[in-house]
Structure 1
Amino acid sequence: MIPRSVLDSHHVRVRGDNPWQQRARLHQALWREQHSLPAGLHNGSPLGSRLETSVAQPPELRNYLSAPAREQVQKAVADAPRTGALLSRPRLWVDLLSSQPLCFNLFGPLAADLELATTTLSQIWPDIRAVRDIGFEWSPGRNDAAYTTNRSAFDVFIEYDGDHGHSFIGIEVKYHEDLRGTPASSKDGLYVEIAKRTAAFDPSTFPLLSALPLQQIWLDHLLALRMLDRSKDGWDAGTFVLLYPVGNTRCAAAARDYERCLVGGQTFEARTLDETVQAARLATTDAWPDEVHNRYLDPALVNTAINEVPPSEQTSPDGLHDR
């Protein structure tokens, strides 16, 4: 655990944070301080993992690390009334910890340069021959009975030409999240019925899949499977990917448990942000992959802060935030 004094001094002691969430929140606060960006407020008190609105909203967009990331997020927001994408503002602007800005920071430059996207992503998925498009908060049909009748969407959606033809990778990106929260309605067993038609799951695991922490993975995977089942959609192959940092052990555990529920096919993968960022670093000499690594993954930022303050030092509980 990170010493309370460190959390308090950077305004990031939040009730309910698990150890990884503490570390990720502190990391974001330290990055903000390193760049001399003012902290935003939560319930009237500074919250270190939040930006002040004046530097967060357009045109500043200081939550975003590169011009392509800023361009892609603004494009997605402009298209949201048409696409139905759930891009919550001001959270999209001010929340440093949110995985949505992370999606644009990592995949925005790839969406703007599809040759770079191909070079980068083929290191992870060697069947990629040419990336054709990258979308954000993408769904083939929200609330559409042809799919899963809910608002499930992929945080990042990659369309590509591959070894098996017209293919896709639908990605759910997590950073600090632990796959907990409020479960989705079962819709009178509809999700189980969809899952049975896919023959991808061990039926004895449906109670596990219907509950958290596996449910969100399951619903997104079902969406990918429905896309593959619909011949009119024109997909020859597709994969659903859960992408998370190495340090997020709860996501890693959920991914292992989820894999145990599968009985066939290669339509689900668990991958790490760390390997994806490293692939980008190998694919380009541009600075943005290093900036993404520093912003989200470099352990030195937090380790230095911990080592600088005696762990025994304690401060007042003032500044404790609820989630």
Structure 2
Amino acid sequence: MKASVCVFVPADHRFKAAARFLQALWREDRGLAIGTHIDRRNPHRPRRLGSRISTAAGALGSNFLHPDIIPVVTRALTYREPGAAYDVDRLKTNLLSSQPLVFNLFGLLARDLTLATRFVAELLPGTLTSATDILFEHSPGRGDPRFTADRTAFDIVLRGRDTTGARGLLCIEVKYSEAGHEPAPPPHPRHTEIARATSGLFVAPDDPTLTGPACQQLYRQHCLASAMLTAGLADTATLAFIAPTHNQLAHAAAATYTRQLTDPRAGPIPFVPTTLEHAFAALAAAGLPDHARALHRRYTDWWLVDGELDLAATVAAPWDFTPRPPSGSTDASRPAAKASRSDGGTLVSNPRRSHRARTTKRATRTAA
């Protein structure tokens, strides 16, 4: 397994290791040149990393799943908000990052708001009945004391109208391999002020759990959404959280946060955690089935990782107890070699590619 040589990162948790391997397989299947990672502690010794593509491949937009997404990315970078936290190299060359995932998931919707409206109806029914705008890496004012007075922002915000015609915001945080336990910045007094002023949102606005590693990002985003409503930027808001089903650490963090809310579903700003797989299904139902399959293949097709591990175990298992012929026996007396079939034909010369083709076909049927 050539990819496995370049994907081992000791600090990875279990899901992140699997996701990194899946991205490396996706890169290899498309013949994209491997990229490098520079460790800040040892910047003079970059290492090849299978979950990255080369700078040249990144410049061509190879991190994005459809050519129509590339101009959306270009526009978002050109008109980025002051203080927006874009790492352009990471966006273009890091296959594992959630930033390109956000564009791969929402990029085509940004070009077709009718499609975006159908997507929202499938993903989070009862929120927006029409989408009028999509904003990437959005905050109405980083550092502005009218809001959270810090750099808090949303991965994606959809603006539109609800069933009553009220102006609505759908604010979304997207995780892929991240554990959802990012280091917590020092608590900001503005957050506490907003939390106390937003009646019915938090069980205990001063609970230190809210500013701990598991909750702090969602807490800051909820405070930002509340401040946006207070400032008159919308009439209603919903905070959504999207992560792969098997990223149990991220979903555990979301569950911890949910317990801090008075009424997660019907409170003043509902909080709705959901899965990346559900988002892909919503995209397919909205009218983009081929794109949904491409997203599944890249981000959640764990059959491919299982297949590679099974193949490696078959090829190199040290516990192979196949009986050996007695000493001195000839090759003619041995059982038929594994490299030949009973009908006299030969097996495919590249078992890895054959296995991946089978698992891809099986996974596609499952997704459909």
Q: Normalising by structure 1, what TM-score?
A: 0.89
The 2-side partners of 1:190 and 1:285 are apart by: 42
SS of corresponding position for 1:280: helix
Letter in 1 for 2:222: H
**1:318 alignment partner in structure 2:** none
Which runs of 5 or more residues in structure 1 are unaligned?
Answer: 1-5, 315-323
**1:64 alignment partner in structure 2:** 64
SS of corresponding position for 1:246: coil
**1:125 alignment partner in structure 2:** 124
2:204 maps to 1:203? yes
> Is the CA contact 1:242–1:271 (under 8 Å) kept in the aligned structure 2?
yes
**2:20 alignment partner in structure 1:** 25
The 2-side partners of 1:153 and 1:143 are apart by: 11
**Structure with larger Rg:** 2
SS of corresponding position for 1:258: helix
Alignment of 1:1-323 (within 5 A): 9-42=4-37, 43-57=45-59, 60-80=60-80, 82-127=81-126, 128-164=128-164, 165-187=166-188, 189-199=189-199, 200-203=201-204, 206-230=207-231, 232-233=232-233, 235-264=234-263, 265=267, 266-285=269-288, 287-310=290-313
The 1-side partners of 2:178 and 2:54 are apart by: 22
SS of corresponding position for 2:313: coil
Aligned residues: 303
The 2-side partners of 1:213 and 1:285 are apart by: 34
**1:3 alignment partner in structure 2:** none
**1:319 alignment partner in structure 2:** none
SS of corresponding position for 2:249: helix
Q: Normalising by structure 2, what TM-score?
A: 0.78
Inter-CA distance 183–281: structure 2 relative to 1 (3 Å threshold): same
1:119 deviates by 1.1
**1:320 alignment partner in structure 2:** none
Letter in 2 for 1:122: A
The 2-side partners of 1:259 and 1:285 are apart by: 31
The 2-side partners of 1:259 and 1:211 are apart by: 14
Inter-CA distance 205–256: structure 2 relative to 1 (3 Å threshold): farther
The 1-side partners of 2:288 and 2:195 are apart by: 44
Inter-CA distance 35–10: structure 2 relative to 1 (3 Å threshold): farther
1:5-45 deviation per Cα after TM superposition (whole angstroms, max 9, x unaligned): x6973411101111100111111001000111111112432
1:67 deviates by 2.1
The 1-side partners of 2:2 and 2:145 are apart by: 46
1:310 deviates by 1.1
Letter in 1 for 2:112: D
The 1-side partners of 2:111 and 2:229 are apart by: 27
1:203-246 deviation per Cα after TM superposition (whole angstroms, max 9, x unaligned): 2762111110211111111111111222x32x121111111111
1:102 deviates by 0.3
SS of corresponding position for 2:123: coil
Of 88-97 and 193-202, deviating more is: 193-202
1:89-120 deviation per Cα after TM superposition (whole angstroms, max 9, x unaligned): 21111100000000000100011111111112
The 2-side partners of 1:262 and 1:276 are apart by: 24
1:84 deviates by 3.3
> Is the CA contact 2:172–2:240 (under 8 Å) kept in the aligned structure 1?
yes
1:285 deviates by 4.8
Inter-CA distance 285–186: structure 2 relative to 1 (3 Å threshold): closer
The 1-side partners of 2:179 and 2:4 are apart by: 25
Letter in 2 for 1:132: T
Which runs of 5 or more residues in structure 2 are unaligned?
Answer: 38-44, 319-368
> Is the CA contact 2:63–2:100 (under 8 Å) kept in the aligned structure 1?
yes
SS of corresponding position for 1:90: helix
Letter in 2 for 1:269: V
SS of corresponding position for 1:182: coil
1:178 deviates by 0.7
1:185 deviates by 2.1
The 2-side partners of 1:69 and 1:102 are apart by: 11
SS of corresponding position for 1:73: helix
Letter in 1 for 2:25: L
The 2-side partners of 1:296 and 1:157 are apart by: 22
